Amino acid sequence: MKKYLFIVMFSCFFVNAPINAAIYKGQKVFTKVCIKCHDSGQSYVAKKTIYQWKKLMRKKGKPLKEIHLKDKKAKRAWKYFASSSYTKKTRHLKDFLVEYAKDSGNVPACN
Ligand code: HEC
């Protein structure tokens, strides 16, 4: 039992710590921006496959940006999607989305 706990703790550490700076940065964008409108975080990410996310995040996230700019319900996000802070971080955001996509086999641990 103790040993099991150790393994769990260790794997949490392993998953979380060096995780990959890009994924961490992407997660920060996601929790700061996307969660406002899309239901809670990771479960939303897991609705799409790696392929689907990659497609949405092509060309610095252009397809994703266009979906939002076309939809009046996303009006609150227009400024964000049109800004350079979106384009600058799409690479990280994509890494995060792909990392936790439906078919990635990854489940965010311990947070
Ligand atoms: C101001 C609210 C708002 C914000 C912020 C926002 N979205 Fe959206 N999003 C919408 C609306 C509204 C739609 C279009 C209606 C729909 O399909 O849900 C949409 C559509 C989408 C779609 C396509 C629909 C689907 O589920 O296939 C994806 C993917 C998506 N958003 C991801 C994101 C990501 C990733 C972020 C963060 C960078 C984000 N959204 C930020 C409101 C928002």
Query: Using an 8 Å Cβ cutoff, are 85 and 25 in contact?
Result: no
CA of 21 to the centre of ligand 1 (A): 24
Q: Above 60 in pLDDT, residue 87?
A: yes
CA of 18 to the centre of ligand 1 (A): 29
Give the tens place of pLDDT for each residue, 30-86: 999 999 899 765 689 999 999 999 999 999 999 999 999 999 999 999 999 999 999
CA of 77 to the centre of ligand 1 (A): 9
Q: Tell me which of 27, 28, 37, 96 to substitute to probe ligand 1's pocket, judged by most ligand atoms within 8 Å of the beta carbon.
A: 37
Closest CA to 53 of 43, 64, 42: 64
User: Position of tokens 């998953």?
Assistant: 15
Chain-centre distance of CA 107, in angstroms? 12
The predicted pLDDT at position 66 comes to 97
Give the span between the Cα atoms of 56 and 54, in whole angstroms. Answer: 5
